[in-house]
Amino acid sequence: MTSAIRNLPVVLLPGTGSDEVFVQSVFTGPLASVGARLIAPPPPPGAALADGYLEELDRLAGVHGSLVVGGVSFGAHLAAEWAVANPGRCEGLVCALPAWNGEPGSAAAAVAARASADLVASQGVEGALAAAAAGSPGWLVDELSRAWRRQGKELVAGLRVAAGRRAPSLAELATVAVPAGIGGCAGDLVHPVAVAREWAGVLPRGELEVVELAGFGRDREMLGRASLVGFLKGWFRPAAGGEQ
């Protein structure tokens, strides 16, 4: 099975307010175990977050010819958006925790991103981190502390971009006929497993793997392994109307 992804460039993007350090902690080990190399670009600043990442995927595809793409949460949305627009350059999807389909509307992750942007705008990064620390698990506080401080004055604009950006619709995802692993997390109310299940259900070669939120703080790689296992299963599922 590992030959499915060995030597393919795997470009993975972080979620809202996160960074490539988190992506590396989740995916580097699982990808290395099958001989694949992770490319994790840092987040473009502020309002350039979404368009900057899409431009980086275009640039990397120009270098490598084709890519496996994916990411976590908003990063998964952007990767899927790029895959829809670039069917000849996308070899597969490795996506974790998709948060909505189509317009964000009242999706929990979009609401949370808007609230975080408002909090940072009114209280500054340090004040917002202090508020976020109340009731959040320690691993999440650590991640936010690093990523939010790093993004600094650009954080608010980036959060607002993510909160307002349309994700691919289910009909659009249904046109992406490449192997697609979708990792969901049971117990994550911000990234409902129901959304991950919808993505996997409409992607022609999509496979869903689910982990438990309770274990994530102890083992970041569990989500990366689940998403990768889904991709490998999808690789060996022939596309409708033809062979792999």
List all residues 6 or more positions away from 162 whose beta carbon is below 8 Å from its beta carbon: 15, 16, 17, 49, 50, 74, 110, 113
Q: Given this model, what pLDDT does residue 1 score?
A: 47
Share of the chain above pLDDT 70, in %: 95
DSSP for residue 141: H
| Structure confidence by residue, pLDDT tens digits, 3-51 | 666 678 899 999 999 999 999 999 999 999 998 989 999 999 999 999 9
pLDDT at 189 over 90: yes
Give the up-direction half-sphere exposure of residue 69: CA atoms within 13 A in the CB hemisphere. Answer: 32
Cα torsion for 210, 166, 71, 190, to the nearest 10°? -40
| Per-residue model confidence (pLDDT) at position 243 | 42
Banded model confidence at residue 67, pLDDT cuts 50, 70, 90? very high
Which CATH class for the 2-102+168-235 domain?
alpha beta
Average pLDDT, the chain: 93
Q: How far apart are CA 59 and CA 61, in angstroms?
A: 5
> Hey, where are the domains in the chain?
2-102+168-235, 108-161
Q: Is residue 215 within 8 Å of residue 226, measured between CB atoms? A: no
CB 228 within 8 A of CB 94: yes
Amino acid residing at 241: G
| Whole-number pLDDT of residue 236 | 82
Q: Using pLDDT thresholds of 50, 70 and 90, give the confidence band for residue 166.
A: very high
| pLDDT at site 229 | 95
pLDDT of residue 129: 93
* pLDDT at residue 242 in the model: 44
For residue 240, pLDDT over 70 is answered with no
- For residues 69 and 12, the answer to whether their CB atoms sit within 8 Å is yes
Q: What is the mean predicted confidence (pLDDT) over 70-76?
A: 98
Q: What is the DSSP letter of 140?
A: H
Overall average pLDDT of the 113-136 stretch: 92
pLDDT at 168 over 90: yes
